[in-house]
């Protein structure tokens, strides 16, 4: 039997770990899973809501690191994770995605000689100003097994000198959660509460520092969203970090008084899934949403200059538009006038069975 610590740190991790833990619990003779929450995402109510919606068991370990600078947060996770690792002595540690907790726990495992597997390995934006890019690169260098979501991720790893025998193309575990919980999201009444009709509204998410930490960039993006809002309602669940910067940059009053934007509180997983799965258009700077909209066939405009998920552009419904207001509005109007592109297809192995392939690879390694 393999004892496995599954690490979660921030909300996007929950959707990736939940299917893996559930698959392990179905194979009780082969796996003994533990869930470790670093507390990098420190909103207790939202974390609890995501655990509940995703049917993820309460964490076996909670490190409670909270908010801090990148260096301080990474160091705190390492310091608090090490004694847990020594006490539990697992066969494997699974880290997912690209947050600080991912790198921190991978480094501790590497130092102590504990095998670590990285789920969602090999993604690259080619932008090293993004802290997530550094986390991805370094985690992949020290991980013993690298589980990739797409063929381009395999090629990235090989180009960086990662031995082929450490790489496993397993598909996208985020889609396991999406396909499992999409029918369950029908129980949500969020659209009715917001008086929204299916395919007659847009949804926007913004949280990356490059977009929300400077008044000039944030104001440009808001201007574009207000223009789009003249055509259809634009619903904006505001991330706690984004709400904080709105106030600090003097933009809160503008947003509150906007007739074009529908500002709402952050949503739990099922409510948010219900909301954006019915949208005509999604605008985001999130990575995971680029993948989910591709599978759902919803046009997505990515408010960044690059993406670590190019397959969503090459095969999916994603278009990179950056933060130039004219381009954002132009591409949005093209979608509203002409509908989704006909070239859309779902990438290979984005089929809801990635967790099972991950477990098979662990058993064989």
Rg (CA), the chain: 20
Place of tokens 């993004």: 130
- Residue 245 CA to chain centroid, in angstroms? 21
Determine phi and psi for 96, rounding to 5 degrees. -130, 150
Q: In what order do the strands lie in the sheet with 261-264?
A: 261-264, 234-237, 202-205, 281-284, 300-302, 318-320
DSSP annotation of 57 reads P
What's the distance, Cα to Cα, between the start and end of the chain in Å?
Answer: 13
3-state secondary structure of 299: coil
Please tell me the distance from the alpha carbon of residue 70 to that of residue 66, in angstroms, as a whole number.
11
Is residue 94 within 8 Å of 32, Cβ to Cβ? no
- Other residues' Cβ atoms within 10 Å of the Cβ of residue 152: 18
Helix, strand, or coil (residue 203):
strand
35 burial level (CB within 10 Å; 0-12, 13-18, 19+)? buried
Report the run of H or E that residue 3 belongs to, with start and end. Answer: strand 2-8
- DSSP per-residue string spanning 22-47: HHHHHTTTTEEEEEEE--SS--HHHH
Annotated catalytic sites, by residue?
A: 207
The runs of H, that is alpha helices, within the chain are 11-26, 44-53, 70-88, 100-112, 131-142, 151-159, 173-181, 190-193, 209-212, 215-228, 240-248, 252-256, 269-277, 287-296, 311-314, 325-338, 354-364
CA 165 to chain centre: 27
Give me 241's structure tokens.
């970090």
Give SS3 for 48. helix
């Amino acid at each position: 039997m393999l004892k496995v610590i599954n690490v979660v740190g921030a909300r996007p991790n929950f959707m990736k770990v939940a299917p893996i833990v559930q698959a392990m619990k179905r194979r009780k003779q082969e796996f003994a899973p533990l869930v470790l929450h670093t507390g990098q995402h420190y909103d207790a109510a939202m974390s609890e809501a995501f655990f509940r919606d995703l049917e993820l068991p309460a964490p076996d370990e909670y490190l409670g690191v909270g908010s801090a600078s990148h260096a301080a947060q990474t160091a705190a996770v390492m310091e608090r994770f090490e004694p847990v690792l020594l006490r539990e002595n697992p066969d494997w540690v699974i880290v997912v995605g690209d947050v600080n907790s991912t790198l921190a726990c991978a480094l501790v495992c590497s130092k102590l000689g504990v095998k670590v597997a990285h789920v969602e390995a090999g993604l690259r934006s080619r932008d090293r100003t993004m802290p997530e890019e550094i986390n991805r690169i370094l985690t992949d260098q020290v991980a013993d097994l690298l589980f990739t979501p797409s063929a381009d991720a395999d090629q990235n790893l090989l180009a960086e000198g990662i031995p082929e025998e450490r790489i496993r193309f397993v598909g996208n575990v985020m889609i396991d959660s999406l396909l499992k919980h999409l029918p369950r999201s029908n129980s949500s009444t969020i659209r009715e509460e917001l008086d929204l009709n299916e395919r007659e509204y847009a949804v926007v998410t913004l949280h990356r520092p490059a977009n929300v930490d400077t008044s000039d960039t944030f104001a440009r993006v808001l201007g574009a969203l207000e223009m789009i809002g003249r055509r259809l309602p634009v619903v904006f669940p505001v991330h706690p970090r984004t709400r904080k910067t709105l106030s600090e940059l003097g933009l809160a009053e503008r947003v509150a008084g906007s007739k074009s934007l529908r500002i709402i509180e952050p949503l739990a997983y099922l409510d948010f899934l219900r909301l954006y799965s019915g949208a005509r258009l999604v605008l985001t700077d999130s990575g995971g949403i680029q993948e989910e909209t591709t599978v759902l066939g919803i046009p997505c405009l990515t408010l960044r200059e690059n993406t670590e998920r190019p397959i969503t552009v090459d095969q999916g419904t994603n278009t990179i538009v950056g933060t130039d207001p004219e381009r954002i509005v132009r591409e949005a109007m093209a979608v509203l006038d002409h509908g989704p592109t006909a070239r859309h297809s779902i990438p290979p192995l984005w089929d809801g069975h990635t967790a099972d392939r991950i477990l098979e690879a662990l058993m064989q390694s």
